Structures are given as structure tokens and as C-alpha cells.
Amino acid sequence: MSPHRKFAAISSVFAAVTLLAYVGAVDAGPKRPTVNRPLTSFDAAAVERAKVGAVQRVRNPECMKLLTDFRDKEGRTLDRRLETWGMSAADYLQMIPFVDGFARPICQRSSVELVTTAGLAVVCVCPAGAGALNSRFAKVQAENPSLAEFMIIHEMLHTLGLGENPPSSFAITEQVMRRCR
Ligand SMILES: [Zn+2]
């Protein structure tokens, strides 16, 4: 499996919609579709299994060197937000919501499993598409649990402000695998 086509991050276009939905601040704007529909129980269980493994990995200080390997677009290392919040990466990862990405157009690409807007603490899980019951991520989790855990950590880095291209999705995942194996 080639992991470099397994990830996608997009910026700004969907940020406002996602943020509105995430914080529930919907009074002030036009009606928007609900973009944070909960996952099916099957997909939620797959995410939970991957999260448990990912949390174990981020407890390792070597893995958490990722937070200073990468920077956000303001040039700050990714550990800054956690420091501000007084949270460990493990505690933070456990609280990131994973929601159904059906409303995200980029999810229509069959190579994309998860979508995160840089700097927003919510991860969208792309549905598999017509005729499939479960997400592509659930399939990865079943076939390659370690890869699913690396994917979760990759997305966590985006929630902490890491953009993409550059660094490429492939480069991010390679570094996650190197630090967190
Ligand atoms: Zn990415």
C-alpha cells in the first residue's frame, strides 16, 4: 500500500463551515448543512481502535518529536498550542472529534480517507461512497491497524496547525512512521 495518496488536507475553503458546525455558533450566519454528522457505529469503532493505538504511540517522547519537526504557517512549532492549553498530546488526541465527512467534496476522491482543515480540532472521515456500508478508513484499520494509527497521528498534526504541500502528505506520513513506529 502506498500511503502517500491516503491523506488530504485542505485549507480555508471549508474552515468557516466546519468551525461553525464544530462550535455550534450557528445563530449569526446563513443556514448551512450539518457537516458534523456522527459516524456510524461501525466507523466509530474503527476510529476508536485506531485512536487507542495512536494514543499509545504519542505517549512515547520520540514520537512527540513530531511536534517540533513541523511548524504551522506562522512558523510556530506544533507543540505551542498544547502548551498553551496545558494538555498532553495523548489527552488532546483522545478528545479530537471524528465526524462523517460526507459533506466534504474532497472525500469524493477515492484516495482520500480522512480530511482535516489545518488548525481545526475535528477530523472528517470520508464515506466509502455509493453501495458501501463503511468508510475507507475502517477498511484500512481492519487491514493494516498500524497504518490507521499513523493516519490518526498525521491528522492530529493538521489539527495543531500543520498545512500540506509543503510538506507533502507522503513526507508527513513518512516522518510519523519514523518517529512513532
Ligand atoms: Zn495530511
Q: What is the dihedral of CA 124, 68, 11, 156, to 10 degrees?
A: 0
Biggest CA–CA distance in the chain, Å, is 45
Ligand 1 centroid from CA 165, angstroms: 9
Q: What is the pLDDT of residue 94?
A: 97
Ligand 1 centroid from CA 8, angstroms: 5
pLDDT in tens, 5-53: 444 444 433 443 444 444 444 344 444 445 578 899 999 999 999 999 9
Ligand 1 centroid from CA 180, angstroms: 16
Ligand 1 centroid from CA 57, angstroms: 18
Ligand 1 centroid from CA 7, angstroms: 5
Helix (H) or strand (E) holding 103: none
* Residue with the larger pLDDT of the pair 35 and 164: 164
Ligand 1 centroid from CA 101, angstroms: 15
Q: What is the pLDDT of residue 34?
A: 53
pTM reported for the whole predicted model: 0.81
Q: What is the pLDDT of residue 2?
A: 43
Does 3 have pLDDT greater than 50?
Answer: no
> Structurally, how many domains does the chain consist of?
1
Confidence category of residue 168, pLDDT binned at 50, 70, 90? very high
Containing structural domain, residue 124: 3-179
pLDDT in tens, 131-158: 788 999 999 999 999 999 999 999 999 9
Contact assessment for residue 102 and residue 108, using Cβ atoms and an 8 Å cutoff: no
Ligand 1 centroid from CA 150, angstroms: 11
